[in-house]
Amino acid sequence: MRVTLDGIARSKGKYRGTAIIDETYGEREFQRMHEGGIRGVRFNFVRHLGGRLDMAFFQRTVGRVKEMGWHLIFHLDATDLVEFDALFKKIPVPMVIDHMGRVNAKDGLDQQPFKVLLEWMKHDKFWVKVCGAERVSSMGPPFTDAVPFARKLIAAAPDRILWGTDWPHPNVGRHMPNDGDLVDLFAQMAPQPEQQKKILVDNPARLYGFQA
C-alpha cells in the first residue's frame, strides 16, 4: 500500500484510502495504514477475477477492521448476494457493496439478488456504490438501463449511498465507458441537487471521517 499511502500523505489530509491486503498484514501494518489515512479493506469475491478467499483469513480481517473502526468493501457477483446473505448480515462492521452488486439489468428489478440487496439496505451497516453502470447494463452505452437500479437503491437508503466513476476501469467488460458519460448518468440516477450533495459529499465524508 506504499503508493496509496504516499498519495494520501501528499494530499495533506484531503484524501482517504482503502486497502487490499493478504495474510502477511499484521498489527504493525494495520497501524501504519490507519495513521496513513486508510479506512477500509476491500475484498474481491468475483469469480472471473479469481475470487473466493480463505474464510478464516476473512473472519480475522473482520475482527481487525472492527478494532480499527474501519469498514469493508465487497466486490461481488450478483449470485454472491444470495449465497452470502446470512453471513454478511452477521458481520458487525459497515459494509460497502460495490457496483450495485453487479446485478444484471436484463433480469429486472424483481430478480432475487437485487431483492436481497434492497433488503440489506434496511440495515444501517450496509452501504452501496451506485457506480459500475457499465457492469450492470445489458444494453451497452450509454448504460441507461442501470439507472432504475440506482434510483431504487437511493430511495431505499439515501444516507448510505456512494458514487464514483471507477476510473481507470480495470477489468472492463465489452465496453470501455466514457467518464463524461458516467458523470452525466449520475445526474439521471440522482436528479435532485440535494440528493447529489448527499451522495457526493455528505455520505462519503461521514463514512471516511471527514468534516462534511
DSSP string, 52-106: ---HHHHHHHHHHHHHHT-EEEEE--HHHHHHTHHHHHH--S-EEEGGGGG--GG
What is the CATH number for 195?
3.20.20.140
As given in the structure block, the three cell numbers for residue 195 are 440528493
Residue 54 lies in a domain: no
Residue 127 lies in a domain: yes
Question: Domain range for residue 188?
Answer: 76-208
Angle between helices 112-120 and 147-156 in degrees, nearest 10 = 30
85 is catalytic: no
**Residue 128: closest CA among 49, 199, 77:** 199
- Tell me the average pLDDT of the chain: 95
pTM: 0.95
Residue 43 lies in a domain: no
Q: Report the number of distinct structural domains present in the chain.
A: 1
Q: What's residue 81's pLDDT?
A: 98
Residue 50 lies in a domain: no
Neighbouring C-beta atoms of residue 93, cutoff 10 Å = 19
**Residue 190: closest CA among 177, 203, 178:** 203
Please give the backbone phi and psi of residue 16, each rounded to the nearest 5 degrees, phi first.
Answer: -130, 170
Q: What's residue 136's pLDDT?
A: 96
Residue 89 lies in a domain: yes
Tell me: pLDDT of 212 over 70.
Answer: no
pLDDT one-digit tens code per residue, 106-146: 999 999 999 999 999 999 999 999 999 999 999 999 999 99
Average the pLDDT over 147-153 and give the result. Answer: 98
Q: What's residue 96's pLDDT?
A: 98
The SS3 assignment for 145 reads helix
Residue 156 lies in a domain: yes
Neighbouring C-beta atoms of residue 166, cutoff 10 Å = 20
Selecting among 77, 80, 98, 166, the annotated active-site residue is 166
Q: What's residue 184's pLDDT?
A: 95
Please give the backbone phi and psi of residue 191, each rounded to the nearest 5 degrees, phi first.
Answer: -75, -20
Residue 84 lies in a domain: yes
Residue 135 lies in a domain: yes
Tell me the residue type at 135. Answer: R
